[in-house]
Structure 1
Amino acid sequence: MFRTLATSGLVGLSTLLLGSSAIAAPIAPNSPMSQLNTVSELRDISPGDWAFTALQTLIQRYDCIAGYPDGTFRGNRPLSRYEFAAGLNACLQQIERLLAETTTNLARREDLDTLRRLAEEFESELAALSTRVDTLEAQTAFLEDHQFSTTTKLRGEAIFALTDVLTGTGTTTTFPSILPAFTPPQTTDLESPDQGTVFANRVRLDFLTSFTGTDRLNLRLTSGNFPHPNRGDGGFQYGPDPLRGYVGGLQFSPEGQQTFNDIASLAADNSIGITELSYEFSLGDRARVAIMATGGEHRAYLPTTFSSWDDGNGGTGSLSVFGQRSDIYNFTGAGLGLTYQFSDAISFSAGYLAPYANNASAPQPLPDDPFAGGLFAGRYSALAQLTIQPSDNFSFGLTYNHSYHPAQSGFSNLPILFSDRGTTQANLPVIPTQEVSVNSYGVAALWEVSPKFAVNGWLAYSNVNTSGGTAFIFPGGPTDYTGSSADILTYGLSLAFPDLGGEGNLGGIVVGASPYTTRSQVPQPFQTGGNWFFGTDLGEDFTDLIADNAIPWHIEGFYRYKVTDNIFLTPGVIWLTAPNQSARNPDVLVGTLRLTFRF
């Protein structure tokens, strides 16, 4: 029918409707393409096109046609009857205006006859369109009267979770002593406390503000009642550290941290605090900049972290933080991030974060103040990534992350490298230590095999270098020691099953290893017992001192069920083998039932 109309007296009317931006994407009144003076302004229309004359007539006689802002008409785009009716209505109104304003350019009878036939054929659609417009105007007026802000949107998420350590807790693990001269007998028993079922919650409120339409100011408020492990105010404890347990620094494995454990530095008593403040904006057509005042993450400015369900440690993806993305990205602080898009397939990103950017005093080793240094002299992370997307369903990236950590003297219990992810040995691989410099190299990829199945994986290697110093370790007094180094690995593979069992559902399987140490050099002179705990010979590698050293596997399965568009129920389990990379520690099985509300 449309082609027949296009060859009649008002041949271009249907063509108008097929491409009019007034239907598909309304153009602002001040847009340079909101009105056309000649058909030559449309760069995808040439004189040889079958509808060229019709378009030219509509522009010259009736002025009721417009193009898209990029100078195209898109005349081959399909449209519904309602869209056709909307365009017809626009032309009828334009002709009525012309009739009221002048008599020199009256519509021809054959054009009016065509319009009459069209109006009769689309009578029901035009009536429905009028009703829709009236309803839309009423709804718009109501929203304007009751809106929270003209520039700010409120987005929230509330998580309720029942979680428990089903196995591997309330146990005693016997390790051979690494300091037989100091701690007879030749074995040491390390206990994991008995854990009970926990009812956890976390709430996030994001205030998203845009001033130009392409920028975004994000203010996040967070509260929760269940922290990550080793915080001292809660969190599951299992898998005692087979090294530091001998020297009064008993630590439990921070592996298996769940996303709702992420409450930043807030107390686990439902206190409310600002956990993110950032501003993103475009710089030209190809660059995107993120300024992060607090709680910034590398993942925030990167085009992708190659994950099927990375939701910023939210409540709709994996249970664990490990399952969200590669640990090479997991660093928070204040700083700057930039992504430059060379083409649709290639982009480059770089960013800098400092967690103690607001503390200008010089960092001092414990027990003083290592949480200092300001923006550049304290702890920081500088990351660069090349992202390549050769097709719509496949992308991969090459990542480099350099981080620096001030002195953590002696046998500090403070995990410093992977922010409470990975084994204790990976977080503090060398003891004693002063300054720590880490170079991390990673590769990650995401392959969306089909709309119902996707695969993503990652591998990251970190080389740790520490400076020497002086340790005040009894019984021999101060001892000078050399620098040292260590190697750390982490990797994972995830299988995603979108819409499994229904639209909006998600099944997920994660298999990998949290960051763990493969080599950790003992500083000199302690390799041969020089003035350390009555001359104990520790050898060259700390990992050799870990009884039954093994890869700490992380195996996770979850199923997110979409109850409504805003409510999700996610049961799942996390299985940890060889916690703290010792097979003497019993396997841990964590069960969770998570209920997420999003608004």
Structure 2
Amino acid sequence: MDKKQVLLTQKTSLVCLLAGSIPLGFGLPAIASETIQTLSTPIENPLSLETSQATDPSAMAQVTSVSQLSDVRPTDWAFQALQSLVERYGCIVGYPDKTFRGNRAMTRFEFAAGLNACLDRVNELIAAATADLVKKEDLATLQRLQEEFAAELATLRGRVDTLEARTTTLEKQQFSTTTKLSGEVIFSLASAYGAYPGLGNRRSLAAGTTTGGAPGNDANVVFNNRVRLKLLTSFSGKDLLITGLQAYNFGGGLGSALGSPRRDSLSGTLGYADNIFGTASNARLAFEPQFGATNPSNLSGAPGNNNSIGLYKLLYIFPSGIDKLTLFAGTAAEVDDAFPTVVPFYGDGQESISRFGNMNPILRISGGTSGIGLASAAGFIWNISDALDFRALYGSVNASLPANGGLAGGTPLGAGLFGGSYVAAAQLTIKPSPAIDFALNYAHSYHQINILGLGESAVAVGAIPNVGATTPVSLDSVGATAAWRITPKVTLTGFGFYSFVNAVTGPDASTNILSYMGGIHIKDVLTPGSTFGLLFGQPPARDRVSGAASPKPEDTRPYHLEAYFKYKVNDNISVTPGVFVIFNPEGFSGNRTITVPVIRTTFTF
């Protein structure tokens, strides 16, 4: 008997197994999937990261012992056959999770692949002319099996060749090996009713006094759009560069003079908006930019207005080298990029239709969610545990400008990384149970002019009454937000916000700003993925004033009531009809109630 015949003798167990049934997974290599670490919350909350771990290529390596297969036991009837194939012949591989799944059915194609793996191993042993030899009859049996499955083997090879050709084509034509593109397009129909009547109860916000002013008009139905594209780039698999581009056709912008607001926004048309930008008001849509067509950092045109393309997000997230600590920095960022919003109404393209309903105002302080990436910012994320998350940042509005020219120089918010308006903020997010999320916030900010930077009410401009528009102010703000999922589909949520605003120069003057909200959010209403939201609260309004800032007799509290229904057409399209009502708009008792009906259609890709 020659060496080849002796080699074939030792392959008898292999032939017997091949002639019977071979469990799924026999000889089939698992395919590694490589993923980029990307965003969890919404497209709008990129630093709330969920890590998609790439499958370790070593997990698909050839197993060297049957004991590595967690679901194979010595009592299994095929244990000895598997042990021989794994440990003697090395032509069995398991799944990445170290299982064999021996009870699963298989196709003829899968059998052919397994057979081919063992035949390749036999050929290697023969070519090596080792001391392990088998019988000539067994070799003939293997040859017969190979001939019987020749068609399936040929088909399998053809499929592999086709797949390799397609993969080569995709590699040549793909957009990028490191970048993922996502997008959102919003179309909206909206109007607003309840215009300012011109009866002497509207405040001239620049000076903080009450004047008759010009009456407003109910708004026509308007058709607006906003388009956003996000490029998510990872260079190491553990970092993330976010580049955001946008275009929109919302109006609003700097008036020709203080006291003469533009009327090309819904709030400006009603006559309730601030007298500088013509946009800050209780009657704000969730997806319109805070400052309309004006960039407040330099009083130029806002990037993205009039459907031009502008950069609204540029942020880099990267590991610190310290366990559980992640760093971030960027020149176009906003507070809610870093801090979880907690409320389920968050998502200006998917959930609440109003600016007020989207999040706690503490996350908007200092223009933190202007919609145009107002500030340069840097900070950290410390995932203390599954139940505790602490984040902090420092943001500067005009970090790119070297000189402060004041209003005359077109830089009303100051200049330099530390020389102009800034915000330093922190948030502790607590999850005491899987059903409860709770956030505590603190923010200290400085503004070179008399504003809050919220964009949710006209009192945000001319924040301290009876104080000049160019008076610097400092703010110390606190906030709390909670969400309680009483069932997997029903969430009770709410927030509270309080800010202490003080004049930095001039006479002693200060005011306190209060806001709160409560609501219910229901998922999978009528159809899977559709949601309903109902919320009520008080938009930011003065709670008290002191010093040179004196209250007005007509001061009162505004209230916001909103209901919306997001209907999920499919995975990429949703339609959201809704309406919100403002009682005592801008905090004046004589102002008419505002009603804002909206229909928003959102496309995502």
Superposition TM-score, scaled by structure 1 size:
0.74
In 1, Cα distance between equivalents of 2:602 and 2:115: 50
Query: Per-residue deviation at 1:423?
Result: 3.8
Which residue identity does 1:237 align to in structure 2? S
Q: Would the alpha carbon gap of residues 432 and 598 (structure 1) be closer, same or farther in structure 2, given more than 3 Å must change?
A: same
% identity of equivalent residues: 32
Indicate the SS of the match to 2:357.
coil
Q: Can you list the C-alpha shifts for 1:38-89, whole angstroms capped at 9, x where unaligned?
A: 55996979999989988765542343566788xx63679x99757x989766
Which residue identity does 1:362 align to in structure 2? N
Q: Would the alpha carbon gap of residues 191 and 208 (structure 1) be closer, same or farther in structure 2, given more than 3 Å must change?
A: same
Q: Would the alpha carbon gap of residues 46 and 353 (structure 1) be closer, same or farther in structure 2, given more than 3 Å must change?
A: farther
Answer yes or no: is 1:549 the counterpart of 2:556: yes
Q: Can you list the C-alpha shifts for 1:196-224, whole angstroms capped at 9, x where unaligned?
A: 22111222222232222332222222111
Asked if structure 1 preserves the Cα contact closer than 8 Å seen for 2:24 and 2:110, the reply is no
Q: Which residue of the partner structure matches residue 200 of structure 2?
A: 174
1:289 maps to which of 318, 324, 327 = 327
Which residue identity does 1:102 align to in structure 2? L
Answer yes or no: is 1:146 the counterpart of 2:178: no
In 2, Cα distance between equivalents of 1:487 and 1:189: 26
Answer yes or no: is 1:63 the counterpart of 2:101: no
Q: Which residue of the partner structure matches residue 347 of structure 1?
A: 389
Indicate the SS of the match to 1:504.
coil
Q: Which residue of the partner structure matches residue 568 of structure 1?
A: 574
Asked if structure 1 preserves the Cα contact closer than 8 Å seen for 2:267 and 2:284, the reply is no
Q: Would the alpha carbon gap of residues 468 and 174 (structure 1) be closer, same or farther in structure 2, given more than 3 Å must change?
A: same
* Residues 1-80 of structure 1 mapped to structure 2, 5 A cutoff: 14=23, 22=30, 31-35=57-61, 39=65, 59-64=86-91, 73=98
Q: Which residue of the partner structure matches residue 102 of structure 1?
A: 125
Answer yes or no: is 1:318 the counterpart of 2:352: yes
Indicate the SS of the match to 2:362.
helix
Q: Would the alpha carbon gap of residues 446 and 54 (structure 1) be closer, same or farther in structure 2, given more than 3 Å must change?
A: farther
Asked if structure 2 preserves the Cα contact closer than 8 Å seen for 1:560 and 1:569, the reply is yes
Asked if structure 2 preserves the Cα contact closer than 8 Å seen for 1:164 and 1:195, the reply is yes
Answer yes or no: is 1:223 the counterpart of 2:247: yes
In 2, Cα distance between equivalents of 1:146 and 1:579: 54
In 2, Cα distance between equivalents of 1:345 and 1:86: 48
Q: Which residue of the partner structure matches residue 237 of structure 1?
A: 267
In 2, Cα distance between equivalents of 1:577 and 1:91: 73
Q: Can you list the C-alpha shifts for 1:358-386, whole angstroms capped at 9, x where unaligned?
A: 11213646787433221111111111111
Q: Would the alpha carbon gap of residues 505 and 30 (structure 1) be closer, same or farther in structure 2, given more than 3 Å must change?
A: closer
Q: Which residue of the partner structure matches residue 343 of structure 2?
A: 307
Asked if structure 2 preserves the Cα contact closer than 8 Å seen for 1:578 and 1:586, the reply is yes
Indicate the SS of the match to 1:61.
helix
Q: Which residue of the partner structure matches residue 274 of structure 1?
A: 311
Query: Per-residue deviation at 1:347?
Result: 1.7
* Residues 126-165 of structure 1 mapped to structure 2, 5 A cutoff: 137=164, 140-165=167-192
Indicate the SS of the match to 1:461.
strand
* Residues 173-212 of structure 1 mapped to structure 2, 5 A cutoff: 173-175=199-201, 188=212, 191-212=215-236
Q: Which residue of the partner structure matches residue 502 of structure 1?
A: 527
Query: Per-residue deviation at 1:279?
Result: 1.8
Superposition TM-score, scaled by structure 2 size:
0.73
In 1, Cα distance between equivalents of 2:84 and 2:358: 57
Q: Would the alpha carbon gap of residues 324 and 48 (structure 1) be closer, same or farther in structure 2, given more than 3 Å must change?
A: farther
In terms of mean alpha carbon deviation, does 506-515 or 444-453 score higher?
A: 444-453
In 2, Cα distance between equivalents of 1:373 and 1:21: 59
Q: Would the alpha carbon gap of residues 501 and 100 (structure 1) be closer, same or farther in structure 2, given more than 3 Å must change?
A: same
Query: Per-residue deviation at 1:446?
Result: 2.5
Asked if structure 1 preserves the Cα contact closer than 8 Å seen for 2:523 and 2:529, the reply is yes
Answer yes or no: is 1:213 the counterpart of 2:243: no
Q: Can you list the C-alpha shifts for 1:323-379, whole angstroms capped at 9, x where unaligned?
A: 222121121411113212122222211111112111121364678743322111111
Q: Would the alpha carbon gap of residues 383 and 135 (structure 1) be closer, same or farther in structure 2, given more than 3 Å must change?
A: farther
In 2, Cα distance between equivalents of 1:388 and 1:420: 28
Q: Can you list the C-alpha shifts for 1:243-263, whole angstroms capped at 9, x where unaligned?
A: x9xxx9897751232133126
Q: Would the alpha carbon gap of residues 427 and 494 (structure 1) be closer, same or farther in structure 2, given more than 3 Å must change?
A: farther
In 2, Cα distance between equivalents of 1:374 and 1:53: 74
2:539 maps to which of 500, 504, 514 = 514
Q: Which residue of the partner structure matches residue 594 of structure 1?
A: 600
Q: Structure 2: where are the runs of 5+ without partners?
A: 1-15, 35-52, 256-260, 296-301, 369-373
In 2, Cα distance between equivalents of 1:381 and 1:102: 71
Q: Can you list the C-alpha shifts for 1:398-425, whole angstroms capped at 9, x where unaligned?
A: 111111112x3xxx6xxx2133123425
Q: Would the alpha carbon gap of residues 353 and 94 (structure 1) be closer, same or farther in structure 2, given more than 3 Å must change?
A: same
Answer yes or no: is 1:441 the counterpart of 2:453: no
Which residue identity does 1:305 align to in structure 2? T
2:456 maps to which of 417, 421, 442 = 421
Q: Would the alpha carbon gap of residues 212 and 503 (structure 1) be closer, same or farther in structure 2, given more than 3 Å must change?
A: same
Asked if structure 1 preserves the Cα contact closer than 8 Å seen for 2:413 and 2:447, the reply is no
Asked if structure 2 preserves the Cα contact closer than 8 Å seen for 1:20 and 1:73, the reply is no
Would you say how many aligned residue pairs link Structure 1 and Structure 2? 532
Answer yes or no: is 1:452 the counterpart of 2:482: no
Query: Per-residue deviation at 1:579?
Result: 0.8
Query: Per-residue deviation at 1:16?
Result: 6.2
1:398 maps to which of 433, 440, 443 = 440
In 1, Cα distance between equivalents of 2:122 and 2:82: 21
Query: Per-residue deviation at 1:547?
Result: 0.3
Which residue identity does 1:571 align to in structure 2? P
1:328 maps to which of 344, 362, 387 = 362
Query: Per-residue deviation at 1:486?
Result: 1.9
In 1, Cα distance between equivalents of 2:537 and 2:160: 54
Report the aligned-residue RMSD: 4.6
Asked if structure 1 preserves the Cα contact closer than 8 Å seen for 2:201 and 2:588, the reply is no
Q: Would the alpha carbon gap of residues 568 and 252 (structure 1) be closer, same or farther in structure 2, given more than 3 Å must change?
A: closer
Indicate the SS of the match to 1:60.
helix
Q: Would the alpha carbon gap of residues 52 and 447 (structure 1) be closer, same or farther in structure 2, given more than 3 Å must change?
A: farther
Asked if structure 1 preserves the Cα contact closer than 8 Å seen for 2:66 and 2:82, the reply is no
Asked if structure 2 preserves the Cα contact closer than 8 Å seen for 1:201 and 1:260, the reply is no
In 1, Cα distance between equivalents of 2:533 and 2:55: 47
Asked if structure 2 preserves the Cα contact closer than 8 Å seen for 1:228 and 1:254, the reply is no
